[in-house]
A and B are shown apart, each in its own frame.
Chain A
Amino acid sequence: MSKKLWSLKFNTATLVLIPAAIGINYLGKLFASLLKLPLWLDAIGTCLAAVLGGPIIGAVCGAVNNIIYGLTLDPISTVYALTNIGIGIVVGILAYKGFMKNLKGAILTGIIVGIVAVIISTPLNIYYWGGTTGNVWGDALYAWAVSQNMPMWLASGLDELVVDVPDKLAVVILVFIIQKSLPKNLLNLFHNNEEVESLD
C-alpha cells in the first residue's frame, strides 16, 4: 500500500484537480480578506487536494500554487512554496493514515500541519524579512519577544506560530467538513490505486 501512497502516476482527474485546488486556495485568501478575517485561509485547496489525491498531489499543488503567485502578484511568495509543499505532504500522509476520518483527528492534523508550517517558514522569514511576518498580532508578539532579549529565531518562530497554527487549524477543519459532504463518486475519481477489472 505504501507504494501507492507515493505513486507518481497521475490520472487525468488528479491532474485537473491541481488547478482547481489552486483556484480554491486563491478564493480562500480572497474571501478571508473580503470578510476581513484575521487568518490567511490560503491553503484550503492544497489540503483538500492532499486529502483527495495523496501527499504527492498535495505537494505538487503547494509548489505550483506558490510559483503561480510568484509569477503574478507576489514574487517573494515563490520561496514559501517550500512551506506549502510541506503542508501538502503532511496532510496527505495523515489523511492516508486515517486522521481525517473524525473531527478529533482533523484537529490534531491541523495542529501538526501548523507546527510543520512554522518550522519551514521561520528560517525563510528570518532570511527574507528579518523575522517578521506582516501580520499585526504576530509582529506585536515578535517586538515584545525581542525587547525581552529572546533570540531572534525564537521571536520569529513565536511570531509565525500565533498566526500559522490557528490558520492551519481552521483550514484543516474546513477541509474536514467539506470532504465529509462530498459525493462518493467524486471521491473515487481521485483514488490512484483503483484497479481496473476486465470482464473478458
Chain B
Amino acid sequence: MKSISLYVDKGSWLNKMAPESKIIYIITAITVPALLGIRWAGMGFIVLSIILLLSGKVLKKTLPLLGVSGFVLVTVLIIQGLFWAGNITPLFRIGPAVFYKEGLNFALGILVNVINILLSFCVLILTTKPSDMIENFVRKGFSPRFGYVFISVFQIIPQMTETMNTITDAQRSRGMETEGKLWVRIKAFIPLISPVIMSSLINTKERALALEVRGFNSKNKKTFLNEQVKTSADIYIQIALLLGIAAALIWRITVWLG
C-alpha cells in the first residue's frame, strides 16, 4: 500500500529532532516575515529552509509539493503581470500580451510568501513520521481519542484507494465508460464513488465495535508504543525561535508607535 505521507527516514539530525521544534520553526518562518513586512525576510527564510532540507537530505522530495502549487503560481504570475490594477510600466511583451512591472512585482511577493510557507512545512513533513508527531502531541496532553482519528486517516486513505481501484476495474469490466464527453464522465462519477462511500461507512460500524471491545473509551492512562523523538538541542532551538518571533513583534509594535 502506498502511503500518502511523503516522509522518509534518512537518519539525519532533522529526523531526530522533536516535531514541536519543527512546528515552531514553521510558525517563525511564517510570522516573522509577515510582522516585518519585508520581502527579504521571506527570502531569507526560503534560503534557510533550503539549507535545512539539504542537510536533512530531503531537498529533492520537495519537488512533488512544489509541483502542486507551482501551476497556480504560474497563473498568478501571468494574470497579475497582465491585469493587476496598479499596472503602469510595461516591462516586456510576448506576442500581444504586455507584462507590467508593478503586477509582476506584486506576483513576486505572493511567490515568495507561498514558497516560504511550502518549504518551511517541508522541513516538518518530509522529516517527521505523522504517527510520531501525533503521539508527541498526545504526550503533551492532546486527546488520545482525537489522536487516533488523525493517525487512522493515514491508514484509511491507502486502504480506500485500493478499494477504489477494485471498483474502477469492476465497473469498467462491466462496460461502463469513464472516458469521453463531459456528460459521460459526470455520469461515471456516481457509480464509482458510491460503492466506496457505502463500504467505508459500513466499515466504520465494524471499526467502532472493534475499538470499543479493546477499551477505546477507557478512562485509564494510555501508554505509548514508541519512544519519544527528542534531542538535547531541541529546547534551545525552540527558545531561540520564540525569541525571534518576540523580537519581530517588538519591532512591529515600535514601528506602529513611532
Q: Mark B147-187, 1 if CB is under 8 A from A, else 0.
A: 01110111111011100100010000000001000100110
* 8 A Cβ contacts from B182-223 to A: 182, 185-186, 188-190, 192-194, 196-198, 200-205, 207-208, 211-212, 216-217
Q: Does B107 contact A (CB under 8 A)?
A: yes
Residue of A nearest to B71 (CB): A134
Neighbouring B residues of A48 by C-beta, 8 Å: 197
> Shortest Cβ distance from B21 into chain A, in angstroms?
16
Are the C-beta atoms of B117 and A76 separated by less than 8 Å?
Answer: yes
How many angstroms from the CA of A64 to the CA of B148 in the assembled complex? 12
Are the C-beta atoms of B79 and A143 separated by less than 8 Å?
Answer: yes
Neighbouring B residues of A72 by C-beta, 8 Å: 4-6, 125, 130
Q: Does B89 contact A (CB under 8 A)?
A: no
Are the C-beta atoms of A132 and B79 separated by less than 8 Å?
Answer: yes
- Give how many A residues have a beta carbon under 8 Å from the other chain's beta carbons: 59
Partner of A75, one of B4, B118, B212: B118
How many angstroms from the CA of A27 to the CA of B110 in the assembled complex? 30
Are the C-beta atoms of B204 and A23 separated by less than 8 Å?
Answer: no
> Shortest Cβ distance from A199 into chain B, in angstroms?
21
Residue of A nearest to B158 (CB): A23
Are the C-beta atoms of B79 and A12 separated by less than 8 Å?
Answer: no
* 8 A Cβ contacts from B18-61 to A: none
Q: Does B80 contact A (CB under 8 A)?
A: yes
Neighbouring A residues of B186 by C-beta, 8 Å: 35, 37
How many angstroms from the CA of A78 to the CA of B153 in the assembled complex? 16
Residue of B nearest to A130 (CB): B110
Q: Does A20 contact B (CB under 8 A)?
A: yes
How many angstroms from the CA of A181 to the CA of B190 in the assembled complex? 13
Question: Given A27-B160, A76-B114, A12–B190 Cβ distance below 8 Å?
Answer: no
> Shortest Cβ distance from B206 into chain A, in angstroms?
9
* 8 A Cβ contacts from A97-152 to B: 128-130, 132-134, 139, 142-143, 146-147, 149, 151-152
Q: What is the interface residue range for chain B against chain A?
A: 35 or more
Q: Does A32 contact B (CB under 8 A)?
A: yes
Neighbouring B residues of A130 by C-beta, 8 Å: 76, 80, 106-107, 110
Query: How many contacts A-B (CB < 8 Å)?
Result: 175
How many angstroms from the CA of A143 to the CA of B186 in the assembled complex? 28
Are the C-beta atoms of B68 and A74 separated by less than 8 Å?
Answer: yes
Q: Does A18 contact B (CB under 8 A)?
A: yes
Neighbouring B residues of A24 by C-beta, 8 Å: 160, 193, 196-197, 200
Q: Mark A16-53, 1 if CB is under 8 A from B, else 0.
A: 11111011101110111011111001001000100000
How many angstroms from the CA of A139 to the CA of B83 in the assembled complex? 11
Question: Given A31-B189, A35-B189, A73-B65, A17–B164 Cβ distance below 8 Å?
Answer: no
Are the C-beta atoms of A129 and B4 separated by less than 8 Å?
Answer: no
Q: Give the 7 A-B CB pairs with smallest separation, nearest first.
A: A75-B121, A134-B72, A35-B185, A13-B208, A23-B160, A146-B83, A19-B152
Residues of chain B at the chain A interface (Cβ within 8 Å): 4-6, 64-65, 68-69, 71-72, 75-76, 79-80, 82-85, 106-107, 110, 113-114, 117-118, 121-122, 124-125, 130, 133, 145-146, 148-150, 152-157, 159-161, 164, 168, 178, 182, 185-186, 188-190, 192-194, 196-198, 200-205, 207-208, 211-212, 216-217
21 A-B interface contacts by CB (under 8 A): A12-B216, A15-B146, A19-B152, A19-B153, A20-B200, A20-B204, A23-B153, A23-B159, A24-B193, A31-B164, A31-B189, A35-B178, A74-B65, A74-B69, A130-B76, A130-B107, A132-B72, A132-B79, A132-B80, A174-B193, A186-B202
